[in-house]
């Protein structure tokens, strides 16, 4: 009897495992990408460049591959036809809701439903609320924070300084003041409670083991009670921010700001919470704060770090950028919006940096909402689809000498001739990044201030001497190994 029970139990488990690993009929002809290489890459903190190495052959030839990961078969693609479809047919390829795919999980608990991860009418409502906050950006915040950055660097003049952390501090301060109306003051005080709690929470959310095997979260020993306490703590901080802002805003003052487009994101959301027809709830405001903390600062911090590395290692590019800055800005430290348009070479260098090191290396997952035929393959409903931005940016199908840093690719005449879907730094279609202009302004202002005052170089013993070592943060954002650079004051 006992033997029969054990046999039935084992057969049941074996059947369940078979169901999980079995390739769906319609994906049988899609070439398979290595699961083992991906897991090794994640555990050894390798970046998207490493993944591209083992995916390149298949994706450059076929445009799509399948990979078994976290209990499902995913489609990974660099195919432009499929990419365009994903951007234009958002009903057919909606984003995957965290609550649906990982109900009750830590990430669902922290990020919930927000402007980045939502679909249809819910997404439209969130995007319409957030949009006005990005219409007229507070230039003084970008400028003042750049000046603060110079003060920090001045204290370590001509000694190696860790840039990745420094850029996070800068971009968090800019985001806080410009978008939440709150000064994290992280450049001056790296240990303030908002920042340390945020770091603890993201470290929990990005733990590789849960990324690779999300189902273990449902087992008793792995239920992440401690991590949930950290999230509860940051939620309290977010609630405090919301309440403080709510109290400080007389309704009339708020309406005035909304009407003349000077309200920041938090003010726009608080205003939307008073909408009698479809109010934005406190919980939704908090979920948006959580996602903006991630989307609005980690990305630009990576972009600034990688471009500083490029400038440190390509002295010819650094010289040319600086010459242009000095010519266009005259005696000014930071550029006006008009001057930013004139900084043509800097803009090309920024774009090329974002091509070579895209801070978002893969778009958040989509899934087919119905059966879709693609070439001779069939995607059943709920097939997860990943657009591999890093792959598209590094494919020799789309770019000549893709591994070479060539800013001139982005000269207007070259840029206009190209298919616009091969530079996907900020995504595309209606879900294009809301903060793209914000980020580009932040990058230009910071680089102008830095290059006017400092000569940037890489220490001789740097781990990045031969190439920049990227890292793994999560499924979408590109990480970076610690990067020390030297800033030597220029004699003007």
Ligand-binding annotation for 205, yes or no, is: no
For residue 236, the minimal CB distance to ligand HEM (Å) is: 23
Integer Cα distance of 71 and 215 in angstroms: 8
Residues 6+ apart with CB under 8 A from 106: 204, 205, 210, 217, 224, 227, 228, 231
| Contact status, residue 33 vs residue 66, Cβ threshold 8 Å | yes
Q: What is the footprint of ligand HEM within residues 184-203 (CB under 6 A)?
A: none
Residue (107 or 299) nearer to ligand HEM, CB: 299
Tokens, residue 364: 């958040």
Name residue, tokens 């405090």. Answer: 240
User: 11: burial class by Cβ within 10 Å (0-12, 13-18, 19+)?
Assistant: exposed
Closest residue by beta carbon to ligand HEM: 435
Residue (32 or 437) nearer to ligand HEM, CB: 437
| Window contacting ligand HEM (CB under 6 A); options: 154-162, 223-231, 295-303, 460-468 | 295-303
For residue 179, the minimal CB distance to ligand HEM (Å) is: 5
- DSSP states of 126-140 as a string? HHHHHGGGGTS--HH
With binding defined as CB under 6 A, does residue 359 bind ligand HEM? yes
The count of chain residues that interact with ligand HEM, using the rule CB under 6 A, is 24
Integer Cα distance of 33 and 50 in angstroms: 13
Binding mask 421-450 for ligand HEM (x = CB under 6 A): ----xxx---x-xxx--xx-----------
Residue (294 or 312) nearer to ligand HEM, CB: 294
With binding defined as CB under 6 A, does residue 179 bind ligand HEM? yes
Residues 6+ apart with CB under 8 A from 179: 133, 264, 265, 266, 292, 296
Residue (55 or 303) nearer to ligand HEM, CB: 303
Q: What is the footprint of ligand HEM within residues 101-140 (CB under 6 A)?
A: 115-116, 127
Residue (300 or 462) nearer to ligand HEM, CB: 300
For residue 452, the minimal CB distance to ligand HEM (Å) is: 22
Residue (31 or 427) nearer to ligand HEM, CB: 427
Residues 6+ apart with CB under 8 A from 13: none
With binding defined as CB under 6 A, does residue 363 bind ligand HEM? yes
How far from chain centre, in Å, is Cα 251? 34
Report the candidate in 355, 442, 469, 359 with the shortest Cα–Cα distance to residue 172: 442
Q: Phi and psi of 303, rounded to 5°?
A: -60, -45
Tokens, residue 348: 């090309």
Q: Which of 360, 441, 473, 483 binds ligand HEM (CB under 6 A)?
A: 360
- Binding site, by residue number, is 433
List residues near ligand HEM by CB under 6 A: 115-116, 127, 175, 179, 292, 295-296, 299-300, 303, 359-360, 363-364, 425-427, 431, 433-435, 438-439
- Binding site for heme, by residue number, is 433
């Amino acid at each position: 009897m006992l033997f029969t029970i054990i046999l039935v139990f084992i057969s049941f488990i074996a059947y369940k495992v078979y169901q999980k690993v079995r390739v769906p009929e319609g994906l049988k002809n899609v070439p398979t990408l290595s699961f083992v290489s991906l897991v090794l890459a994640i555990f050894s903190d390798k970046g998207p460049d490493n993944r591209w190495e083992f995916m390149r052959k298949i994706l450059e030839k076929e445009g799509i591959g399948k990979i078994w990961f976290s209990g499902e078969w995913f489609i990974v693609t660099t195919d432009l036809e499929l990419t365009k479809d994903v951007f234009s047919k958002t009903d057919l390829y909606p984003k995957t809701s965290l609550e649906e795919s990982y109900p009750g999980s830590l990430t669902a608990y922290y990020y919930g439903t927000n402007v980045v991860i939502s679909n249809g009418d819910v997404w439209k409502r969130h995007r319409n609320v957030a949009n006005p906050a990005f219409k007229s950006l507070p230039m003084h915040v970008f400028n003042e924070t750049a000046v603060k950055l110079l003060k920090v660097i001045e204290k370590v003049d001509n000694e190696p300084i860790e840039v990745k952390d420094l850029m996070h501090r800068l971009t968090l301060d800019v985001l806080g003041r410009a978008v939440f109306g709150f000064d994290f003051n992280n450049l001056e005080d790296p240990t303030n409670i908002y920042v340390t709690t945020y770091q603890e929470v993201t470290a929990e959310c990005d733990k590789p083991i849960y990324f690779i095997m999300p189902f273990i979260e449902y087992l008793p020993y792995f239920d992440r009670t401690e991590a949930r306490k950290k999230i509860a703590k940051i939620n309290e901080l977010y609630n405090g921010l919301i309440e403080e802002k709510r109290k400080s805003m007389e309704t009339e003052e708020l309406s005035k700001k909304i009407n003349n487009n000077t309200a920041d994101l938090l003010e726009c959301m608080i205003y939307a919470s008073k909408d009698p027809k479809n109010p934005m709830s406190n919980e939704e405001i908090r979920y948006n704060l959580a996602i903006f903390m991630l989307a609005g600062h980690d990305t630009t911090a990576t972009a600034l770090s990688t471009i500083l590395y490029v400038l440190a290692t390509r002295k010819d590019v650094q010289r040319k950028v600086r010459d242009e800055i000095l010519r266009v800005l005259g005696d000014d430290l930071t550029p006006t919006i008009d001057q930013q348009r004139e900084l043509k070479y800097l803009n090309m260098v920024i774009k090329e940096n974002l091509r070579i090191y895209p801070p978002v290396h893969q778009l958040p997952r989509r899934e087919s909402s119905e059966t879709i035929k693609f070439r001779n393959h069939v995607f059943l409903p709920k097939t997860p689809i990943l657009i591999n931005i890093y792959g598209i940016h590094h494919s020799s199908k789309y770019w000549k000498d893709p591994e070479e840093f060539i800013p001139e690719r982005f000269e207007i005449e070259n840029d206009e001739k190209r298919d616009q879907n091969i530079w996907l730094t900020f995504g595309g279609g209606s879900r294009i990044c809301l903060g793209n202009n914000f980020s580009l302004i932040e990058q230009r202002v910071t680089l102008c201030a830095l290059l006017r005052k400092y000569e940037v170089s890489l220490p001789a013993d740097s781990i990045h001497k031969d190439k920049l070592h990227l890292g793994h943060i999560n499924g979408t954002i590109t990480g970076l190994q610690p990067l020390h650079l030297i800033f030597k004051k220029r004699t003007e």
